[in-house]
Amino acid sequence: MSVSTSRVLQEFAARLGKGKVFLELPQRRMYRYDGIAVGETPAIVVLPETTQDVVEAVQLAQATGLPLVPRGAASGLSGGAVPTEESIVLCFTRMTRLELDPDRRLAIAQPGVVTAWISERAKPLGLTYPPDPASLRTSTLGGNLAENAGGPMCFKKGVTGDYVVELECVDAWGQVHRLRREAYDLPGLLIGSEGTLGIITEATLRLTPIPPHTRTLMAVFGEVGQAAEAVSRAIAAGAVPSKLEFMDQGCIRAVEDYLHMGLPVEAAALLLVDTDGDDPQIVEEELSWVAEACRECGGEVRVARDPQEAEQLWRARRSVSPALGRIRPKRLNEDIAVPRSTLPEVVRSIEALGRAYGFPLVQFGHIGDGNLHPNVMFDPESDDEDKVWEMLHEVARVALRHGGVLSGEHGIGLMKRDFMTEALDRESLEALWAIKRALDPAGRLNPGKVLPDLVSP
Amino acid sequence: MSVSTSRVLQEFAARLGKGKVFLELPQRRMYRYDGIAVGETPAIVVLPETTQDVVEAVQLAQATGLPLVPRGAASGLSGGAVPTEESIVLCFTRMTRLELDPDRRLAIAQPGVVTAWISERAKPLGLTYPPDPASLRTSTLGGNLAENAGGPMCFKKGVTGDYVVELECVDAWGQVHRLRREAYDLPGLLIGSEGTLGIITEATLRLTPIPPHTRTLMAVFGEVGQAAEAVSRAIAAGAVPSKLEFMDQGCIRAVEDYLHMGLPVEAAALLLVDTDGDDPQIVEEELSWVAEACRECGGEVRVARDPQEAEQLWRARRSVSPALGRIRPKRLNEDIAVPRSTLPEVVRSIEALGRAYGFPLVQFGHIGDGNLHPNVMFDPESDDEDKVWEMLHEVARVALRHGGVLSGEHGIGLMKRDFMTEALDRESLEALWAIKRALDPAGRLNPGKVLPDLVSP
């Protein structure tokens, strides 16, 4: 960093207020990583408390030529919040204002609001915010918006973007906009764009009434294809499960090793299904369609008798992360989405990749919309990390070969940026770049994310 | 038109096949207008039958420098499909392929498919396509996508864009893209952009199960504010009506004059409400919350005893268009959306405008999301049409002053393009123009729509 840049950063820190800026190396080093990758140490970390602070950070980027990397809790799993060069990291964890408008069923939230807070605050009013990424107790709304996060409920209730009514954002020139979802849906363009087109500083979100009744079942199958077929049949019968989770054998075994709850370790696939709604009889009937479909496809079904048993069954799914952590010190969590009919073949192909590369591998995910999370466990001390990434690239190729997409809900980020050249044709990538250049001609907003470098043909 | 352009058009017609191209003046003159405005006679009308035909029309635009104006049934109410200069009109009424995939609950439709066909074809499979613009028996999907059309069911079930999974489109360079709703939501950007950013040639749409039960009520009120308050209370009580329509006194009187069905012509406001769902008891209970809220706010409630009576009540709403046609030969149908709490004041302000300008005026709309349609009736022989447009501009200003937006569901088109400078600040308009220039640098796609000309400051 040049002496003059260094002086500009010092002046900025003095002007914005010392508490809002980190310039010391030990502090800055804490803002290099997200849930999956480690990047470059930022030149400065800004913790804005207001939209105006964000505007000033953008002006700092203009003055110094340093890029801006927005982040929240940094629990992301695709490297989207990781600086790839010397940057201004803009950490939103202090922008936590959250207001509810129960009459209009809206929440107005700043990006640093932890996702789970919204439903917690809305609960006494009989309302909820449905998007439920697994990280919802740590991840912040800004990151959910940037990645357009989903969760187990997304099959019935949609993803983050489906709940956005209005956004406030700061553009690459430091201008503040309030954008609604009208002609030219700019909020929709910003959602899922990982901070590469503009910086979201506030979101107005739709809340929905809490469904009063929920029922749960678990089903186990001898083959993955049976589970996929059961889901298709249940949906064809009219069921719209509110949660629909799949675990493969590797995943079942890892959880059983961890919890000793009596899961069938010989089973090839496990489904966890919730139905919910206003009427207990309908919720029950919907669950019975799912149970019947599972049995017809050769599954063994266990219906939870009460909320306690349901809670117990869901513990299996919630324990996947800690269970996997015991197998190897590190893991990479892939995130693909494929047509549900291709799931058996996709799961088998990915299992074969795990065997070929010699890494322990488990698969689980939101089977309703074919969103699968193959997880590769490895030891950075003894394993070749390049091999892990090579294998993940092959996993992405399996998805693309079966008509799937690179990301179900984690985003493209750093991790899958290069795969984009295989997922989209050159003309479509050029259209994405045209939009990027239109909204960020200097390339200052989260560079090195989402869009692959295009080499001239 | 130059002789060389004329020759290029002749050659194009010969190559594409005579039946797909209109070059004769009487035919071309039929493609000047939509449901609200008349524009310039196009230089050529192309009726593509395949995506490749669309590509060739784009190449024709490149070769001749003529702009492209896509249209379907031309039932639009904002001038979006009206040529503002000598153009290539691309009429999609022959691209009517419609395939259903009941297992995946999807419809794959070309832009010329009439909206109502989708639900008609899906009905035997127990499925439906919820977006229900009033024009659904004539309007085509391409126009619904271009305007992101809503309808009476949008409060509960969302608008056109909420059902789009994937789009095929042709860009300004004639390249064909298949776009899913992933990082950089390009389909979302195209939806509602009125053909100014790309030309949609196919859409993959989500279908939903048909709710088996519906209940209907009508409520009349002495004041508009009572109706708005009743809706707010019903929603706060937990009701999510599947349809929720408002008519003001002018509208009630026009319909009563036409149908003589015994509507209370002294009432200031009328609500028509449907609840729907899987369980008849819940549907009934939800309706009872609405009825209670209406009575608490001073409304008189009539609950339909059976589907025949419900049908009868809804006839009032469906007859608005023919009823208004009897008052004056022409009408302009405004389309604003305002926060529901401001509705009484907005309705009163717009009534006052009608009195001030001396035009008969009625108001109705989808009150659930504050979408109001003030309709101005006039006689082009005796009335000054400029005054009508001036008044509509004032109506738009009322919406903006109350925190509303220019369009609920009809789009900006030609009609409200100039109002955009009052609805959005200059920076936001420049962001929209930046996107337009990135995707259509030569300005060939439906010029003169949506975006106002920006005069240098």
Q: Which residue has the higher pLDDT, A347 or A91?
A: A91
Q: Given this model, what pLDDT does residue B457 score?
A: 54
Contact B239, B200 (CB under 8 A): no
A109–chain B nearest CA distance, Å: 19
Give the containing element (helix H, strand E) for A221: strand A213-221
For A384, phi and psi rounded to 5 degrees? -85, 110
Contact of B101 with chain A, judged by CB distance below 8 Å, is answered with no
Taking each helix axis as running N to C, give the angle between helix A307-318 and helix A249-259, from 0 to 180 degrees, rounded to the nearest 10: 110
Q: To the nearest whole angstrom, how far is the Cα of A318 from the nearest Cα of chain B?
A: 26
User: Tens digits of per-residue pLDDT, A42-53?
Assistant: 999 999 999 999
Say how far apart CA B48 and CA A39 lie, in whole Å.
Answer: 51
Among A182, A412, A422, pick the best mutation site for testing chain B contact (most B Cβ within 10 A): A182
Mean pLDDT of A138-148: 95
pLDDT of A175: 94
Judged by CB atoms within 8 Å, which residues 377-406 of B form the interface with A? Answer: 405-406
pLDDT digits (tens, 9 = 90+) for A54-93: 999 999 999 999 999 999 999 888 899 999 999 999 999 9
Does the structure show a pLDDT above 90 at A1? Answer: no
Over residues A321-328, mean pLDDT: 87
Q: Verify whether the Cβ–Cβ distance A439 to B439 is below 8 Å.
A: no
For residue A80, what pLDDT is reported? 92
Q: What percent of chain B has pLDDT over 70?
A: 100
Picking from B103, B185, B279, the nearest residue to A279 by CB comes out as B279
Give the closest of B161, B232, B279 to A103, CB-based. Answer: B232
Q: Looking at the domain that runs over A213-321, which CATH code has it been given?
A: 3.30.70.3450
Strands A44-46 and A88-91: parallel
Spatial distance between the Cα atoms of B408 and B398, rounded to a whole number of angstroms: 14
A-contacting residues in B 114-173 (Cβ below 8 Å): 126, 148, 161-162, 171, 173
How sure is the predictor about A241, in pLDDT bands with cuts at 50, 70 and 90? very high
Please tell me whether residue B258 adopts helix, strand or coil conformation.
Answer: helix
Give the pLDDT band of residue A303 (cuts 50, 70, 90): very high
The alpha carbon of residue B356 is apart from the nearest alpha carbon of chain A, in Å, by 30
Each residue of A397-412: b (16+ CB within 10 Å) or e? bbbbebebbbbbbbbb
Number of C-beta neighbours around residue B412 at 10 A: 29
C-alpha to C-alpha distance for B64 and B62, rounded to whole angstroms: 6
User: Which amino acid is located at B252 in the chain?
Assistant: I
Q: What is the model's pLDDT at position A9?
A: 95
Q: What ipTM does the predicted assembly reach?
A: 0.78
Tokens standing for residue B448: 């003169």
pLDDT digits over B445-457, tens only? 999 999 998 876 5
Q: Is A232 on the interface with B (CB under 8 A)?
A: yes
Whether the per-residue pLDDT at B69 is higher than 90: the answer is yes
A434 and chain B: CB distance < 8 Å anywhere?
A: yes
Q: Do A435 and B439 count as a contact with CB atoms less than 8 A apart?
A: yes
For the stretch B335-344, pLDDT in tens is: 888 888 888 8
Q: Would you state the pLDDT for residue A454? A: 82
Among B103, B148, B182, select the one facing A236 at the smallest CB separation: B103
Q: Which residue has the tokens 């990027």?
A: A436
**Average pLDDT for B291-313:** 94
**Please, are residues B405 and B399 in contact by the beta-carbon 8 Å criterion?**
yes
Q: Which residues contact B403 (CB under 8 A, 6 or more apart)?
A: B338, B339, B342
> Does A177 touch chain B if contact means CB atoms closer than 8 Å?
yes
Query: Best of B148, B184, B240, B450 to disrupt the A interface by mutation (most A CBs within 10 Å)?
Result: B184
Task: Determine the topology of domain B327-401 in CATH.
Answer: Alpha-Beta Plaits (3.30.70)
Residue found under tokens 């794959």: B108
Exposure of B305 in the CB half-sphere (CA atoms within 13 A): 0
Map out the domains of chain B as residue ranges. 3-91, 98-209, 213-321, 327-401
**Tokens read off for A58:** 């953008």
| Pair B340, B404: CB distance under 8 Å | no
The structure tokens 């995939």 sit at B101
B332 touches chain A (CB under 8 A): no
DSSP alpha helices (H): ranges in A239-306?
249-259, 280-296
CA closest to A339 among chain B residues: B104
Is A408's pLDDT higher than 80? no
> Is B449 in a helix, a strand, or coil?
coil
**Cross-chain Cβ contact A412/B236 below 8 Å:** no
What does each C-alpha distance from A132 to A110, A124, A137, A153, A406 come to in angstroms?
Answer: 18, 18, 9, 7, 20
Token couple for A428: 């479509």
Which chain B residue lies closest to A420 (C-alpha atoms)?
Answer: B183
Q: What is the predicted pLDDT for the residue at A419?
A: 85
DSSP 3-state of B126: coil
Q: For position A370, what pLDDT does the model report?
A: 86
Residue A273 to residue A294: CA distance in whole angstroms: 11
Instruction: State the burial class of residue A285 (Cβ atoms within 10 Å of its Cβ: 0-12, 13-18, 19+).
Output: middle
* Best mutation target, A171, A184, A197, A213, to test chain B (most B CBs within 10 A): A184
B52's tokens: 């490749």
**Higher pLDDT, residue A278 or B14:** B14
The contacts of residue B210 (CB under 8 Å, 6+ apart) are B123, B126, B127, B128
Percent share of chain A, pLDDT over 90: 65
Same fold, A98-209 and A213-321: no
Architecture of the structural domain at B98-209: 2-Layer Sandwich (3.30)
B275, β-bridge pairs: B215
- Arch. (CATH architecture) of B3-91: 2-Layer Sandwich (3.30)
* pLDDT digit string, tens, across residues B174-210: 999 999 887 789 999 999 999 999 999 999 999 998 9
- Cα B239 to chain centroid distance, Å, stands at 25
A327-441 to CATH, choices 3.60.70.12, 3.40.50.1860, 3.30.70.260, 3.30.70.2740: 3.30.70.2740
Q: Nearest CB to A437: which of B235, B279, B438?
A: B438
Average pLDDT on B267-272 reads 94
Q: Which of B452, B436, B441, B425 is nearest to B193 (CA)?
A: B436
Residue B277 to residue A281, Cβ atoms within 8 A: no
**What is the tens place of the pLDDT at every residue in A382-396?**
999 899 989 988 999
Chain B neighbors of A431, CB-CB under 8 A = 171, 177, 186, 439
Within 24-63 of A, beta carbons closer than 8 Å to B belong to none
- And the tokens for A433? 């770049």
User: Contact A192/B209, CB-based, under 8 Å?
Assistant: no
Mapped to the 3 state alphabet, what secondary structure does A294-326 carry?
HHHCCCEEEECCCHHHHHHHHHHHHCHHHHHHC
CB-based contact, B435 to chain A, within 8 Å: yes
For A319, counting Cβ atoms within 10 Å of its Cβ (0-12 exposed, 13-18 middle, 19+ buried), the class is middle
> Average pLDDT over chain B, rounded to whole?
91
B408 touches chain A (CB under 8 A): no
Q: Beginning with the edge strand found earlier in the chain, give each strand of the sheet holding B44-46 in spatial order.
A: B21-22, B44-46, B88-91, B68-71
pLDDT at B52 over 70: yes
Separation CA A299–CA A227 (nearest Å): 7
Between the CA atoms of A161, A446, A397 and A423, what dihedral angle is there, to the nearest 10 degrees?
A: 70
In the block, residue with structure tokens 């990982």: A194
Contact B420, B412 (CB under 8 A): yes
Query: CA nearest B158 in A: which residue?
Result: A162
Is A431 within 8 Å of B194 when comparing Cβ atoms? no
**pLDDT average, residue stretch B125-150:** 92
Max alpha carbon distance in chain A (Å)? 72
Q: Please name the helix (run of DSSP H) or strand (run of DSSP E) that holds residue B88, with its range, or none.
A: strand B88-91
